[in-house]
Chains A and B, each alone.
Chain A
Amino acid sequence: MKTFSYEIKDAIGIHARPAGLLAKEAKKYESKIVIKKEGKSAEATKLMAIMGMGVKCGNVVDVEIEGADEEKAYEDIKAFFEANL
């Protein structure tokens, strides 16, 4: 399993568009990718669940990635967060 933490920089937090693009990215991988914030968690492939967490600017989220292709997924998803959130 690989993990990383990330502080959300986007002024509107994780809103519809990046959440949707994140879901699309996450679906490419076999690995299970879970986003956690203050005890709540949601799978990265589930757009509405991610949005339902209400992640705001300044929140720190933990991202856990587990599976056969976790190395590639980790690079990709981390880069996605940095570029879009």
Chain B
Amino acid sequence: MLKFSGKSVYKGIVLGPAAVLKNNDFQVKRERSEDPEAEIARVEAAAGKAQEQLQKLYDKAVIEVGEASAAIFEVHQMMLEDDDYRDAISSMIRTEQINAEYAVAVTGDNFSEMFANMDDDYMKARAADIKDISNRLVRNLSGQEDVDFSSMEPSIIIADDLSPSETVQMDKSKILAFVTVHGSTNSHTAILARMMNIPALIGVPMNLDEIHTGQTAIVDGFKAEVVFDPTEELCRETQSRMKEEQEKAELLQTLKGKENVTLSGKKINIYANIGSVGDVGYVLENDAGGIGLFRSEFLYLGRNDFPTEEEQFQAYRQVVQTMAGKKVIIRTLDIGADKQADYLNLGNEDNPALGYRAIRICLKQPDIFKTQLRALLRAAAYGNLSIMYPMIISTEEVRQIYSIVDEVECELNDAGIPYKIPEQGIMIETPASVMISDELAEMVDFFSIGTNDLTQYTLAIDRQNEKLDDFYNPHHKAILRMIQMVVDNAHKHGKWAGICGELGADLELTQEFVRMGLDELSVAPSMILKVRKNVREME
């Protein structure tokens, strides 16, 4: 029995088989082959299998995160069939009389290097794609199974770390829990775990070589521990605790359909934060009153080019129609910092959190902004859509935004395309916007407080830095005072104010938030009913 401790991200408990995700850069051996034609046939077969694997990945991604992010798998399929690539492999096999694995590995390296040496950042990034498909071919040739989630039984994912785009690739219904060696409580892996209602541990000092896929594991989000090969007794104990949790969850379900109202009659809206079209199901399942933050970045990440207006429009419209009249607040592009996309060519910054990101990119590169705005205004004609602008620090920015929205409106008018001007609000996530929230409240329809970044900038703490977790106090008086100030300024001008940062789901603060006068809390879908319970039980 192996036990490790770490930080818990979601309090749940689960028992199941481990699935270890390793970055495999294993060695391929060069062997002589007497029958080159047979080796070439093996490559054909492996490529055929790879096409099927990629197709499955593509199909799954389209449903979960939309066509835009799924496109990367299509690109892999096309690269696999490239004449030059395949001819190079075949000709190496024939002239050097070697095995398929080695020919594929070397060819992959050669092509990959060619791209890595190009000037263009976008092309440089393609080197990784070629490596990826070559690895896939070699794995198929060696008979190594691809991590095929569709036939995988629900498992506990064990990994070194999980990047935002890796998590996009996973099948959410097959994941019982996450355990990673690295990561911080505010990283994307953590945010995802909370969204999916699944136990997750991060910062767990495991040696991945000691753990095998299939081993039984218990992830205990309450004790912040993971145990491999537990004793029978521990298994029984865990099963009974799992049953308790299940009963508690069912009780919470009785809260579905009930109003978010305190014993004395104060009301507050409880909405959901989501990051992809596929998450709308969780929103409705958990009885949210609306979507308080729809992160639009999924349309821009995990792909090689910009999403078109049409792609964006379809995604926004789908969400707005599925939500059938409930409010959907879509945040415009918020890329930069930890959510880079190669094709944007943002380059390297010393301080990405303080850098060229979000609304700054949109205002300096209005073509990107206008495409998104066009899609949003068009989708607004189909349901209850609102727009929210991130990273605002000045009234000038808001003025500029409105002038661009005017341009977009004129263009749509001239072209006779149906649209609607929606409610427009801003994220309050910089100390600057807090301090001028009185002036901003005159200009916009609502505020949504991004407590994650606001706390980061106010406390001067990098939320990705594990060493600082002890200094990070999300209940810091500075933050609470800022929230009160923002709410008061909004109300003075007849506007509403809510929270979309993670603090909104902090059950210790629910009462405080209602007393402060917040109009809305937008939280991970898994927290909606828990927040509701707190609201209904307070005076």
* Residues in chain A within 8 A of chain B (CB atoms): 10-13, 15-21, 23-24, 45-49, 51-52, 54, 56
Contact = CB atoms under 8 A, between A and B. Distances in A.
Given A12-B305, A48-B111, A52-B114, A17 B74 contact: yes
A46 B304 CA distance: 18
A48 B306 contact: no
B84 A49 contact: yes
Nearest to A10: B305
A14 B528 CA distance: 45
Contact of A51 (B71, B119, B123): B123
B74 A48 contact: no
Contact of B126 (A16, A18, A49, A56): A16
A21 B305 CA distance: 14
Interface stretch (B75-83, B159-167, B430-438, B489-497): B75-83
B282 interface: no
Given A11-B306, A52-B118, A16 B75 contact: yes
B343 A46 contact: no
What is the size category of the interface that chain B forms with chain A? 20 to 34
B397 to A, nearest CB: 23
Contacts of A46: 82-84
B115 interface: yes
Contacts of B78: 16, 19-21, 23-24, 47
B377 to A, nearest CB: 22
Given A20-B79, A54-B120, A56-B120, A15 B304 contact: yes
A51 B111 CA distance: 11
B122 interface: yes
21 contacts: A12-B306, A12-B343, A16-B75, A16-B126, A17-B71, A17-B305, A19-B78, A20-B78, A20-B79, A21-B78, A24-B78, A46-B84, A47-B82, A48-B84, A48-B111, A48-B130, A51-B126, A52-B114, A54-B118, A54-B120, A54-B123
Contacts of A20: 74-75, 78-79
A69 B261 CA distance: 72
Contacts of B367: 11
Contacts of A12: 122, 304-306, 343
Contacts of B126: 16, 51
Contacts, number: 64
B79 A54 contact: no
Contacts of B129: 16
B115 to A, nearest CB: 7
B79 A48 contact: yes
Given A17-B71, A17-B304, 7 more contacts: A12-B122, A13-B120, A24-B78, A48-B84, A48-B85, A51-B126, A54-B118
Contact of A16 (B83, B85, B304, B306): B304
Contacts of B130: 48
Closest 10 CB pairs of A and B: A20-B78, A47-B82, A16-B75, A48-B82, A16-B304, A46-B84, A46-B83, A12-B343, A12-B305, A48-B84
A19 B71 CA distance: 13
B115 A52 contact: yes
Contacts of A21: 78
A47 B82 CA distance: 6
B217 to A, nearest CB: 38
A83 B123 CA distance: 22
A49 B126 CA distance: 13
B105 to A, nearest CB: 17
Given A20-B75, A48-B111, A54-B118, A15 B343 contact: yes
Nearest to A22: B78
Contacts of B74: 17, 20
A57 to B, nearest CB: 11
Contacts of A47: 78-79, 81-82
B126 to A, nearest CB: 6
Contacts of B83: 45-46
A46 B81 CA distance: 9
A6 B73 CA distance: 28
B119 A54 contact: yes
A23 B83 CA distance: 10
A48 B82 CA distance: 7
A41 to B, nearest CB: 13
Interface in B478-497: none
A55 to B, nearest CB: 10
A56 B123 CA distance: 11
A44 to B, nearest CB: 11
A21 B123 CA distance: 17
A19 to B, nearest CB: 8
A17 B122 contact: no
Contacts of B122: 12-13, 15
A11 B123 CA distance: 14
A54 B122 CA distance: 10
Contacts of A19: 78
Contacts of A13: 120, 122
Contacts of A23: 78, 82
